[in-house]
Amino acid sequence: MMNNYECNSCPITKFSAGMYCTKSIEGIYKRFKILRTSVDTAGNNILIMIDIDSGARIWCGTRGLCPLPLQFRYYQQQAISCRLFGLAPSSNDNQTTSWPESVVNYFKQFCGPTVQANVLNVCEKVTDDGSFTISMYKIVENRKIWAHEYLLSQNFAIGEQLIVVKDTPAKLYNF
């Protein structure tokens, strides 16, 4: 299924190696990877992307990587909801829900095997040199967001600041 973005142009933010974020016409921020690129007659990059969380293919026309969306610039950091292990994208081939082994292993190195049972948020932060750092947060039943205890115990995470995520105060951690 192909999804068109408003005016066939979307602000794109790179927030991890090979991974990007953009805002859909519905106003939802989505994470995606670029599958294929081409250039149209007007010089625009045409991207065929895959939505990391749903597996849907996305078509997008853009003039390249853009800065963070305006509302993100008012925060030192801003959480973007994503589902890494709580709800993995389904595979159409065998109807399983699993993340690639490389993704699973990346998060296991910080959180251990229990991370697969967690629903996580990702926070992106722009540094002075223009690069992005990623922080992960575990959503617990009382809707507060905490870094996995292992991150804290190993000094991978420290308390950073309080912001509001989906109208709920949340303690965010950086690692």
Give the model confidence (pLDDT) of 12-29 as tens digits: 444 443 445 555 555 555
Can you tell me the distance from the alpha carbon of 119 to that of 113, in angstroms, rounded to the nearest whole number?
Answer: 13
User: For residue 156, what are the domain limits?
Assistant: 75-174
Q: What average pLDDT does the segment 34-46 reach?
A: 67
Question: Which of residues 68, 91, 111 is at a domain's end?
Answer: 68
Number of independent structural domains in the chain: 2
Which tens digits make up the pLDDT trace of 158-172?
Answer: 333 333 333 333 333
**Average pLDDT value for residue range 137-155:** 40
State the pLDDT at residue 127: 52
Q: Are residues 50 and 93 in the same domain?
A: no
Judge if 141 and 55 occupy the same domain.
no
Do 8 and 63 lie in one domain? The reply is: yes
Same domain assignment for residues 62 and 8: yes
Predicted local confidence at residue 113, as pLDDT: 47
Whether residues 64 and 79 fall in one domain: no
Closest among 32, 18, 12, 28 to 106, alpha carbons compared: 18
Summarised one tens digit per residue, pLDDT across range 54-92 is: 555 655 555 443 333 333 333 333 333 333 333 333 344
Distance (Å, whole) CA 30 – CA 136: 16
Which of 68, 95, 121 lies at the terminal end of a domain, its last residue?
68
DSSP letter for 77, please.
S
Same-domain check for residues 109 and 35: no
57 and 79 assigned to the same domain: no
Check residue 97 and give its pLDDT.
40
Please tell me whether residues 42 and 80 are part of one structural domain.
no
37 and 63 inside one domain:
yes
Give the pLDDT confidence score for residue 72 in this predicted structure: 35
